Each structure stands twice: as C-alpha cells, then as structure tokens.
A = this chain, B = another copy of it.
C-alpha cells in the first residue's frame, strides 16, 4: 500500500546514471551537447526514477519562469473565458504556462494579484484595459516585467496593447440607431469608474449624438455591474419612466440578454415596442429570440495575438500595439422607433 514516496532530484538521476548533475541538467535542457551514449544513460535513469524537474528550483537558478500571468475581471463571462482560452492555447505552443487571477473589477484586488504574480516571477503579465492607478505601472516598470493591455487600444500612451477602440467600435451601432430615427435613447452601462472600456462606449454614443445634432445629455444612462439580473432590473427601470426610451442600448450582451428576458416577462415586444442592442457578440447573442443586434469582437483572435505579442515582449523584442477591428452585427432586436407618445 504505502509505496515509498520518494521524489527524485537531479542528484539522484546523476548518481543512478553515473554522471554529474551538470550533465543531467544539460541532457534535459540542451541534449545535443551530449554524446549519444551518455544521453541514453541519463534518459533511462530519468525514466526509471520518474524524475521531473522542480520548477521552483529551476526558475530560481535560471531566473526565468516560463510563466505568464493574466489578471482578468472575472472568468464568469464568456468573453473573457473565450479570449483566455485562446490565450492559453497559444501560450502552450510557446512553451509557457498561464496563471490566471481575477480581480472582480476591484482595483485593490488587481494590485494584490499583480504583486503576487510578480513575486512568483511571472515573465509577463496580461491586463485588461488601461484604467489603473499609475503606481501599478510604476511598479511594473520598476520590476521590469513586460505587460500587455488587452481589450482596449489607445495611441496616446506608451503602454503596449492589443484590442480595439471602444469608442470607435460602438459608432456604427449608435449611428444606425440614430439613422433609424431613435431620439429617445437609453444606455445600460457597466459602472464607468475604473473601466475605460465601459466609459469609452458611452462616450462613443454621446459623441455620435452630438454629431447628429442631438443633445448628448438627453441620453438616459444607467450604470450597473454586468449580469443578467442587473440587465433585467435596469430595463425595468427604463420602461417605468414617464417617457420610456425607444431603444435600450446595453454595454454588453449579458446586460442585453437580461433586458430581452425582462421585456418578455413584461410582454413588451422586442423590437416593436422597444429596440435592444448589445456589445461583444457572444453565443447568447445569436441564440436569443429575436437574435441580438450587437457589435462583434474577435475575442479568440485577440487572445491568440496577445500571447504572441507577450511572448515577443518577454524576449525583449519591440512590439507595436495592435488594433483589431470590430464589426456591426445587425440582427433582429433593432428597428425603427415606435410612434412616440407620452404616457
């Protein structure tokens, strides 16, 4: 029953193979420097003992970990989950492993995780969005760990990023909304504080309104964390207004799904009574009934590219920020406004 539980080290392998520890180390890291014969000896010793290198010792001695860290707001949202899955797969191809932490949209937790991951010797870090305390960027610079911002793209900074311009991404959507004749517009957003993506989407809407000669201040804005339930609640508030909006634009598809659900429960026709739009284009969007009009974001591509960029940054190569394009997906939940009548 109780097998000896003995965890072999380099030294054990060396002894068994009758060589030095240096040779074993070489055999594992740069096999071509060895002669056939010794390589064979070492390999069979490794196999016999079931040796596996101790990672901590390895990275302590070599001063690199082949590990990258990612700090995302939450795993419990398809967009991050999907992007991260792609990120991780590509990292695997590069021989690196991923450590994920989630901040729950809390800056203090994010900072803590950044410190933890740094202490663990992460060779690089993936962060979501730009918004964070400057001390974080200073910390990163001081420790000399490369960091890549994803899910956002800005040009007026030296922080490398891969993503899209949220303000620009939502433009075709809001312009379509306005072109259809909507004048009584609502937007259900995530809390804008500490969230540049959310903020930029709202800004994009307001700017388009301005350009179209509408008063940006007339935008009915509700801020609430991303969740189906919150989408429902926000939608309920909107339709209870004296003059309910003719379109409820949502900061992401999850909120929009909540809005659609609530509309159904209240027997309000979408899009005849009220139009609804989303952002992200997750699976939900095309499964909803009617299918959700939204903005498609290339999450998988973003994850994959992020891994490649970060890999290069870790190798001290210079990499340029990369802008990805998004695409309007016109589907069933957006149409012309109902005849406007005050209640």
Residues of A within 8 A of B (CB): 3, 5, 7, 50, 52-57, 59-60, 65, 74-78, 81-82, 84-85, 88-89, 97-102, 104, 115-116, 118-121, 139, 141-144, 228, 257, 260-261, 264, 283-284, 286-289
Beta-carbon contact of A5 and B144 below 8 Å? yes
Question: Apart from A56-B120, A283-B284, A287-B288, what 18 extra A-B contacts exist at CB < 8 Å?
Answer: A5-B143, A50-B142, A52-B119, A55-B56, A55-B116, A55-B119, A55-B120, A55-B121, A57-B60, A60-B60, A74-B85, A76-B85, A78-B81, A97-B99, A97-B120, A99-B100, A284-B287, A287-B287
From A55, A77, A85, residue with most partner B Cβ within 10 Å:
A55
Chain B residues with Cβ below 8 Å from A77 are 81
Chain B residues with Cβ below 8 Å from A286 are 261
Measured CB to CB, the nearest residue on chain B to A109 is B92
Chain B residues with Cβ below 8 Å from A99 are 97, 99-100
Beta-carbon contact of B53 and A119 below 8 Å? yes
Number of copies: 2
A97 to B70, CA, bound (A): 13
A54 to B63, CA, bound (A): 11
Measured CB to CB, the nearest residue on chain B to A104 is B89
Partner of A81, one of B57, B59, B75: B75
A104 to B289, CA, bound (A): 30
Chain B residues with Cβ below 8 Å from A228 are 283, 287
Beta-carbon contact of A100 and B102 below 8 Å? no
Partner of A82, one of B52, B76, B88, B98: B76
A7 to B286, CA, bound (A): 50
Closest chain-B Cβ to A46's Cβ sits at a distance in Å of 13
Measured CB to CB, the nearest residue on chain B to A116 is B97
A306 to B156, CA, bound (A): 45
Query: Top 4 closest A-B pairs, CB basis?
Result: A289-B289, A55-B120, A76-B85, A56-B56
Closest chain-B Cβ to A228's Cβ sits at a distance in Å of 6
Partner of A3, one of B74, B102, B142: B142
21 sampled A-B residue pairs with Cβ under 8 A: A5-B144, A53-B119, A54-B119, A54-B121, A55-B119, A75-B75, A75-B84, A75-B88, A76-B78, A76-B82, A78-B78, A78-B81, A97-B101, A97-B116, A97-B120, A98-B101, A100-B100, A257-B283, A261-B287, A264-B289, A284-B284
Chain B residues with Cβ below 8 Å from A84 are 75
Given contacts A102-B88, A284-B284, A287-B260, contact A56 B52 (CB under 8 A): no
A85 to B227, CA, bound (A): 15
Chain B residues with Cβ below 8 Å from A119 are 52-55
Measured CB to CB, the nearest residue on chain B to A6 is B142
Chain B residues with Cβ below 8 Å from A144 are 5, 7
Beta-carbon contact of A115 and B54 below 8 Å? no
Closest chain-B Cβ to A144's Cβ sits at a distance in Å of 5
Chain B residues with Cβ below 8 Å from A76 are 78, 81-82, 85
Closest chain-B Cβ to A100's Cβ sits at a distance in Å of 5
